[in-house]
Structure 1
Amino acid sequence: MSQSRTTSAPELTPQFCFNETLLRDFLRISRSTIDDSITQNLNALYTPARAGFDPSSTAIRQTDSAAGKQIEPAACQGFKENVLFPSWQVRSDVLNYCAGVATSPDPEDPVHILRQTDSAKERERIVDERLDPYSARVQPREARTESLASLVRTQRGVEEIIRARTWGMVSERCGGSSQGWEESLNRWRESRQLPPTST
């Protein structure tokens, strides 16, 4: 399992974040490469030849070859340090950057001028609520920073769920550590002298 399997980091720009389709696609592809196929990735680490051939293994049909078998600790550690944690870190970096973009002023928002125009029209409008009780309700246009902030919150929640599921499978197959994924990832970050992040 080489590092080439991890998804490379995109160029982080506000335009990347505001293109929500591109942002979602990056996260989806990164997750599918590592987390969604975690069983196959872990099975690829298992080396049955190490134990030698067992003639009794041909007596029954093997349906889930390596599933459930312990993986060599060195192979597990290499997978976590060179594939799993870097993939998680790239996604954390992207989400943290986009969260920063979402909380920054956005003078280039194409909806900004439209919202100002709508606001001015609303102030000038005379409403007779007896004739039309719903006319006073205005649906303001959502700023793209608000939309991006909502997307980042949702994707962070998805990350929490996916990482917990992946870490459960890694812990089951690799054994050893009783640490949660957050603590293990933060220890890896410290060893690489990376700052801790919120995702």
Structure 2
Amino acid sequence: MSRPSEAPQLTPQFCFNQTALRDFLRLSRSTIDDSITQNLNALLTPAVKGFDPSSTSVRQIQPSVSSRSIPSQQCDAFMKRVLFPSWATRSDVLDYCSGVATSPDPDDPDSVLRQVEDSKARERVVDERLDPYSGRYFPREARTGSLARLMRNERAVEKIIRSRTWSLIGERCDLSSDTAEEAFDKWRKQQAMS
């Protein structure tokens, strides 16, 4: 069985290092969600029924539903020990970095440069009849703004990945009618109580 993703040390520097942040999310998603079919197949024990020599006499295009179905006990164990802890780790990282993105950033190395550029842009005299493009000014974005945009994108990606993973699990496991988020929230509440 796969292991859940390990949580990185959450610091503002980790969040502002967008390469490290993206690498963590990519690696966590690839080991659990992107390889969900392999993870689910690993839960099956194909030799339990024994080998049936007649099974090779006819080519079977689609495996039978019963051979693809995973016992609910194994599905539950996988979701509680691997899937949901990985989702929780990613959610914690996204929540923390979203908080960093909405907080003031006194350590921003480009803040002085942005202030200088803004003051120069305000003082500039522009004659748009001579150059219609000279009035354009594109201020530099603060790193908190860039991080906030990245967090919005990553949350959207996370929602899509979880939905896809949950639908694949639903094909192989006997799930309740909960959505991925509902099941994850129930698991989180159970973890908080214990």
TM-score, shorter chain, exceeding 0.5: yes
State the aligned residue count.
Answer: 192
Q: Distance in 1 between matches of 2:17 and 2:64?
A: 41
The 1:125/1:176 distance shift into structure 2, 3 A limit, reads: closer
Task: Report the TM-score when normalising by structure 1.
Answer: 0.90
In 1, Cα distance between the equivalents of 2:26 and 2:129?
Answer: 50
2:16 maps to a residue whose letter is F
Decide whether the 8 Å contact of 1:115 with 1:140 is kept in 2: yes
Q: Is the 8 A contact 1:43 1:66 kept in 2?
A: no
**Distance in 2 between the 1:116 and 1:64 partners?**
64
Q: Which residues of structure 2 form unaligned runs of 5+?
A: none
- CA positional deviation for 1:124: 1.7
Partner of 2:189: 190
> Shift of residue 59 of structure 1?
1.9
SS in 2 for 1:178: coil
Q: CA RMSD in A?
A: 1.9
Give distance in 1, aligned partners of 2:64 and 2:152.
37
Aligned partners of 1:8, 1:90: CA distance in 2, in Å?
7
Aligned to 2:19: 21
Q: How does 1:15-164 map to 2 (within 5 A)?
A: 15-61=13-59, 69-164=68-163
What percentage of residue pairs aligned between the two structures are identical?
Answer: 62
- Measure how far apart 1:126 and its partner are: 1.5
Deviation at 1:66, TM superposition (A): 9.1
After TM superposition, the score normalised by the length of structure 2 is 0.92
Report which stretch shifted further, 63-72 or 131-140: 63-72
Structure with the bigger RCO (C-alpha within 8 Å, sep 6+) is 2
Shift of 1:53: 3.1
For the residue of structure 1 that corresponds to 2:192, the secondary structure is coil
Moved more, 64-73 or 104-113: 64-73
The SS at the match of 1:110 is coil
> Separation in 2 of the partners of 1:92 and 1:135?
44
